[in-house]
């Protein structure tokens, strides 16, 4: 189940001052804020009450990036040996590095033989839109949100000590149970964490490859996953993680000024009134990843942008139903959980239905930093 289609997420942080241009000094002086509003569109009431997240940084340089280099054979052997050394009893361990994906599994229990039979059992899942990081939410599990994130962080830092993440999405999984009797098969519930890579404290908040309804190439989904981590966490002896990483090649310069959120909000309100945006999930000031034209010195670039994750419907008039199986509340495939990436220099927003050939390329407003 793709984390990019999770219906809810949360983030907390700072917002920009109302009318001033967004610069380092402005960010430093900004007060906490939210986007709150109520809109009527096509007979629907769309309520927005969403925190706006701004990193605790005063400079947001444009970065040329590349995929983190794959681990050497010696490195892979070292980390495989590390996890194999932890083996006890029925524990299952796995460490893989392939095509820049690091995948780690570490289990100290044997699964019930019926646990993977969807005809017999179910594992209800629930999105967690708001949370206290120091509280526990998984069923019959004392692990707090912060402790779950720390386990994700600690294990990737065994391999890449300088890499860090912040949470983007949380899904809770209850204890697996028999559909008919309700008898539970597990001792604890789990956290599924979707995380954003931090580049010097600034989150990789969205990828242009995630922003559109139609993929340009079969590699789009893979590229969209860079700069993120996924973890299924029960406790320190029972977890599964996957990571894909960006590495900085060069700092290309820093824009003098960017638009505050109040300046780009009207564009988003217009999308709500058009009937396409049905819900606003979270808003981040962070990095958006774009492609560069063929022949450029670099292949990918991260630029500061407003990234607004929404539930998007292609048909403004269609009433869409949620999928109630297992109590997930996830929407059907007619509904999309998408990032609307807003150019912080011009205020222009991506359109999920754009199929133009150059839609993945860095906006012209940023090209002067790449060309200099």
DSSP 131-147: --TTSB-STT---BHHH
DSSP β-bridge partners for residue 283: 52, 308
Whole-number Å distance between alpha carbons of 359 and 255? 22
Q: How far is CA 360 from the centre of its chain?
A: 18
| Residue 334 pLDDT | 44
Whole-number Å distance between alpha carbons of 255 and 343? 12
For 37, the token pair is: 């509003």
Instruction: Output the CA torsion sign for 106, 111, 117, 123.
Output: negative
Answering whether pTM is above 0.95, one says no
Whole-number Å distance between alpha carbons of 114 and 98? 31
3-state secondary structure of 326: helix
Q: Are 189 and 138 in contact (CB under 8 A)?
A: yes
The count of other CB atoms within 10 Å of the CB of residue 172 is 18
Burial (CB < 10 A; 0-12, 13-18, 19+), residue 15, is buried
| Residue 87 pLDDT | 58
Query: E-assigned strands of the chain?
Result: 34-41, 44-53, 62-67, 92-98, 101-107, 121-122, 125-127, 164-173, 177-178, 190-199, 202-207, 228-235, 238-244, 246-253, 277-291, 300-313, 322-323, 330-331, 335-343
Which residues, in sequence order, are CB contacts of 22 under 8 Å at separation 6+? 16, 257, 258, 259, 260, 285, 344
Which residues, in sequence order, are CB contacts of 364 under 8 Å at separation 6+? none
Going by their DSSP bridges, the two strands 322-323 and 121-122 should be labelled as unpaired
3-state secondary structure of 345: coil
Q: Are 192 and 170 in contact (CB under 8 A)?
A: yes
Instruction: Output the CA torsion sign for 327, 328, 329, 332.
Output: negative
Whole-number Å distance between alpha carbons of 280 and 185? 36
Q: Are 62 and 200 in contact (CB under 8 A)?
A: no
Helices (H), the chain: 24-29, 73-84, 145-157, 220-224, 261-273, 367-371
Among 71, 107, 102, which residue's Cα sits nearest to residue 86? 107
| Residue 286 pLDDT | 95
Q: What is the dihedral of CA 49, 324, 241, 165, to 10 degrees?
A: 0
For each of the chain's 372 residues, which pLDDT tens digit applies? Answer: 333 333 233 222 222 333 344 554 344 334 348 899 999 999 999 999 988 988 888 889 999 999 888 778 888 787 777 766 655 544 566 777 666 678 888 777 777 888 888 889 999 988 887 889 999 999 999 999 999 999 999 888 888 888 999 998 899 999 999 999 999 988 999 999 999 999 999 999 999 998 988 777 777 888 888 999 999 999 988 888 898 999 999 999 999 889 999 999 999 999 999 999 988 888 999 999 999 998 899 999 999 999 999 888 888 888 766 543 333 344 444 456 789 999 999 999 999 989 898 999 999 999 999 886
Going by their DSSP bridges, the two strands 101-107 and 300-313 should be labelled as unpaired
Whole-number Å distance between alpha carbons of 310 and 352? 11
Instruction: Output the CA torsion sign for 173, 178, 179, 183.
Output: negative
């Amino acid at each position: 189940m793709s984390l990019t289609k999770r219906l809810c997420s949360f983030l907390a942080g700072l917002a920009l001052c109302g009318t001033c241009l967004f610069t380092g000094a402005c960010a430093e002086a900004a007060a906490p804020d939210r986007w709150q509003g109520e809109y009527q569109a096509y007979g629907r009431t769309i309520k927005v009450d969403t925190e706006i997240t701004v990193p605790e940084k005063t400079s947001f340089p444009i970065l040329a990036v590349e995929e983190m280099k794959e681990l050497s054979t010696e490195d892979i052997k070292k980390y495989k040996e590390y996890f194999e050394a932890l083996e006890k009893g029925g524990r299952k361990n796995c460490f893989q590095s392939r095509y820049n994906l690091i995948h780690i599994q570490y289990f100290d229990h044997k699964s019930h033989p019926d646990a993977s039979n969807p005809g017999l059992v179910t594992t209800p899942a629930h999105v967690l839109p708001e949370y206290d990081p120091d509280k526990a939410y998984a069923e019959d599990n004392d692990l707090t949100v912060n402790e779950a994130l720390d386990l994700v962080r600690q294990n990737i830092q065994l391999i890449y000590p300088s890499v860090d993440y912040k949470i983007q999405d949380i899904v809770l999984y209850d204890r697996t149970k028999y559909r008919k009797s309700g008898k539970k098969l597990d001792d604890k519930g789990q956290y599924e964490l979707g995380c954003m890579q931090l580049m010097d404290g600034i989150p990789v908040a969205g990828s242009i490859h995630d922003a559109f309804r139609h993929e340009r190439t079969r590699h789009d989904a893979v590229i969209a996953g860079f700069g993120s981590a996924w973890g299924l966490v029960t406790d320190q002896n029972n977890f599964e993680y996957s990571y894909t990483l960006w590495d900085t090649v060069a700092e290309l310069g820093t824009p003098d000024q960017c638009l505050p959120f109040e300046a780009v909000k009207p564009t988003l309100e217009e999308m709500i009134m058009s009937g396409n945006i049905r819900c606003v999930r979270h808003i981040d000031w962070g990095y958006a990843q774009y492609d560069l034209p063929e022949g450029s010195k670099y292949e990918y670039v991260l630029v500061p942008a407003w990234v607004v994750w929404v539930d998007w419907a292609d048909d403004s008039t269609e009433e869409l139903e949620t999928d109630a199986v297992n109590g997930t509340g996830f929407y059907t495939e007619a509904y999309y959980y998408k990032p609307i990436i807003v150019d912080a220099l011009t205020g222009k927003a991506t359109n999920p239905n754009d199929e133009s050939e150059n839609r993945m390329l860095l906006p012209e407003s940023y090209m002067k930093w790449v060309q200099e």
